Amino acid sequence: GEGLPRPGQTRLIVVANQKGGVGKTTTTVNLAASLALHGSRVLVVDLDPQGNASTALGIDHHAEVPSIYDVLVESRPLAEVVQPVVDVEGLFCAPATIDLAGAEIELVSLVARESRLQRAIQAYEQPLDYILIDCPPSLGLLTVNALVAGQEVLIPIQCEYYALEGLGQLLRNVDLVRGHLNPTLHVSTILLTMYDGRTRLASQVAEEVRTHFGDEVLRTSIPRSVRISEAPSYGQTVLTYDPGSSGALSYLEAAREIALRGIGVGYDAGHAHIGA
Ligand code: ADP
Ligand code: MG
């Protein structure tokens, strides 16, 4: 893929929204693949017991596979669970297995329960340009671990009714974690997902989100695309499943925006709302 500037140090991006089905996992894996295709080294941390990000990246995550559960609960080194993604050079995944569902409870009684992922990431010595963390649809200890480990929060927002409802709770959690545990944490990026520019509702919601969040909203939005939703069942991202599709191009463009913003370069969007 074409090169993009790589960040001087690892950027840690937490993909969070406690609403399910808004495109967290889809965004995590497709942005990660886009950044890797642009020449970066990228690790996806799957923090959702459903393991959808692991599945979408074609990573084995049956119950016996060493996983992020072992890292969080058994203090296993992250390096021992990371697997390379077969189709995409420079892309890696720390998979989630179903036992992660119990971790929410098991973590409660452990020492430093909020900062176990942070410690594991700090001890990980492989060079990386980006770590993307895919959160479960809740604000429990797994998401708190992601917020404590991260620097940036990326919130995918689906352009539908009630899109902004419940976001206040996430933003308050970000403030709490920033205030008490992680002073560098901030919401850096809002991404509009499953955008259908033909409907009045979608453009109204998009406008509302842009008014509310301003510059954090990426100019690129992700169109609703059948190719995007088909790719995971082949264990692929849309970037390898259908590289020329509008979905693939929009994630590449979103990745370019994120990469350029990270080094403080202004972005001239020629392709906002690709394919929408
Ligand atoms: P979350 O992780 O927030 O629960 P997902 O990323 O799993 O959300 O997306 C929810 C569903 O919507 C999935 O079936 C996914 O394939 C589909 N989906 C996500 N983004 C798009 C898109 N841009 N176009 C079409 N379907 C999408
Ligand atoms: Mg998900």
Does a structural domain hold residue 143?
yes
Q: Which ligand is nearest to the CA of 48?
A: 2
CA of 229 to the centre of ligand 1 (A): 6
What CATH number is associated with residue 230?
3.40.50.300
Q: What is the pTM of this model?
A: 0.94
Q: For residue 276, is pLDDT > 80?
A: no
Does a structural domain hold residue 275?
no
Tell whether ligand 1 has an atom less than 6 A from the beta carbon of residue 250: no
Determine the straight-line distance between the first and last CA of the chain, rounded to whole angstroms. 24
Does a structural domain hold residue 117?
yes
CA of 232 to the centre of ligand 1 (A): 10
| Number of domains the chain is built from | 1
Does a structural domain hold residue 271?
no
pLDDT at res. 55: 98
Tell whether ligand 1 has an atom less than 6 A from the beta carbon of residue 225: yes
Does a structural domain hold residue 85?
yes
Does a structural domain hold residue 184?
yes
Does a structural domain hold residue 268?
no
Contact status, residue 82 vs residue 94, Cβ threshold 8 Å? yes
Q: For residue 1, is pLDDT > 60?
A: no
Q: Compute the residue count for the chain.
A: 276
Structure tokens at 3: 């090169």
Cα gap 21→3, rounded to integer Å: 31
CA of 138 to the centre of ligand 2 (A): 10
Tell whether ligand 1 has an atom less than 6 A from the beta carbon of residue 24: yes
Model confidence at 263, pLDDT cuts 50, 70, 90, reads low
Hey, whose CA ends up nearest to atom 15 of ligand 1?
A: 229
Nearest to 174 by CA among 218, 201, 144: 144
Structure tokens at 234: 């082949």
Higher pLDDT, 67 or 274: 67
Cα gap 99→199, rounded to integer Å: 41
Atom of ligand 1 nearest to the CA of 17: 3
Does a structural domain hold residue 72?
yes
Domain boundaries, position 141: 11-262
Tens of pLDDT, residue by residue over 73-118, are 999 999 999 999 999 999 999 999 999 999 999 999 999 999 999 9
Tell whether ligand 1 has an atom less than 6 A from the beta carbon of residue 222: yes
